[in-house]
Amino acid sequence: MVMSKAEWRRRRRRKKLIQRYALLAGFCVIALLVLIVLVKLITAIFHHRGGGIIEKAGDVPVKQSLLSISRYARCGEKLDSIDEIIIHSNNTVGKTAQAQRDYYESLKTKKNDNERQSMHFIVDLDGTIYQCIPTDEIALAIAGTVKFHSLSIEYCITGEDGSMSAATYTSLCKLVATLCKEYKLTEKKVFRHYDKNQVSCPLFFINETNWEQFKADVKTARNGKKVAVTDAPVNKVVMPHGSSEESGESGESGEGNSGTETTEGGEGS
């Protein structure tokens, strides 16, 4: 049978049309796949942020060193909200953040209900920042209701007066500034452990001049400006002089308060 010219044209047109639709369908499938991958990627990023992990404080990377879940340090309970940031200091000159973090981790094997402690972050002698607990979980740092609404940061000290290295000071400023920005807080919501429980922690900042200067420096960091430690009254801040032997197992300075505080339903010191 001989195909008429008109029929041949019709078939050719239909073939071209089918090809065009096939091409379009192919593009649609590829576009859909790309979209799915993008959505998954974005969700993963947001999930990660929502997971309470702080990756950077200004230009300082935050080292993840999460504690394992136990009722003695990282109890795994969720924070209701983040309304306050509370500053603590270690009470052993030269003790490193790693040593302090390991102390918190060791509490799970001690199983002592009077010794339950932990911090969200520890700022090391050289300014390295460690995250020990995700920011959406409770740290066992302060007894009372604030524990459900606050983040706790501990810094390592280089002097008996609770002073710290310049590197520690600037990292602490950057970390507090980052957390303020992340959780929409200002310096008015930054407190000393001393403000909450009248313990001598953090010793260096019990001096009001030092404390006011620190909050001013946090504001400077929060506004994206460089913190000039040498201009601050904390210029007696000294550089680390190496780790000394640990002179005790206790955590941050609570001057005998930590033991009693931690007993309150295990809510921390």
Least spacing, CB of residue 216 vs Zn ion, in Å: 22
Give burial (CB, 10 Å; 0-12/13-18/19+) of 19: exposed
Least spacing, CB of residue 76 vs Zn ion, in Å: 22
Say how far apart CA 238 and CA 2 lie, in whole Å: 100
List 52, 67, 85, 88, residue binding Zn ion (CB under 5 A): 88
Dihedral, 148, 145, 184, 73 alpha carbons, nearest 10: -40
Give burial (CB, 10 Å; 0-12/13-18/19+) of 14: exposed
How many residues belong to the site for Zn ion (CB under 5 A)? Answer: 4
Stretch that binds Zn ion, among 9-17, 81-89, 131-139, 260-268 (CB under 5 A): 81-89
Least spacing, CB of residue 41 vs Zn ion, in Å: 40
Least spacing, CB of residue 113 vs Zn ion, in Å: 19
Q: Which residues contact 203 (CB under 8 A, 6 or more apart)?
A: 89, 91, 157, 161, 162, 253
Say how far apart CA 18 and CA 12 lie, in whole Å: 10
Asked if 201 touches Zn ion (CB under 5 A), the answer is: yes
Least spacing, CB of residue 152 vs Zn ion, in Å: 8
Stretch that binds Zn ion, among 3-11, 82-90, 218-226, 239-247 (CB under 5 A): 82-90
Question: From start to end of 132-261, where are the E strands?
Answer: 150-155, 190-192
Least Cα distance to 134 among 217, 36, 181, 68 occurs for 68
| Structure tokens, 174 | 């950057």
Residue closer to Zn ion, measured from CB, 67 or 201? 201
Report the number of secondary-structure helices (H) and strands (E) in the chain: 6, 7
Stretch that binds Zn ion, among 11-19, 83-91, 219-227, 243-251 (CB under 5 A): 83-91
Measure the N-to-C terminal CA separation of the chain; round to a whole number of Å: 97
Asked if 196 touches Zn ion (CB under 5 A), the answer is: no
Interface with Zn ion in residues 213-242 (CB under 5 A): none
Asked if 147 touches Zn ion (CB under 5 A), the answer is: no
Least spacing, CB of residue 142 vs Zn ion, in Å: 7
Residue closer to Zn ion, measured from CB, 58 or 196? 196
List 95, 101, 120, 193, residue binding Zn ion (CB under 5 A): 193
Say how far apart CA 164 and CA 156 lie, in whole Å: 7
Cis peptide before 202 (omega within 30 of 0): yes
Residue closer to Zn ion, measured from CB, 58 or 179? 179
List 137, 217, 252, 261, residue binding Zn ion (CB under 5 A): 252
Least spacing, CB of residue 44 vs Zn ion, in Å: 36
Asked if 261 touches Zn ion (CB under 5 A), the answer is: no
Residues contributing to the site for Zn ion (CB under 5 A): 88, 193, 201, 252
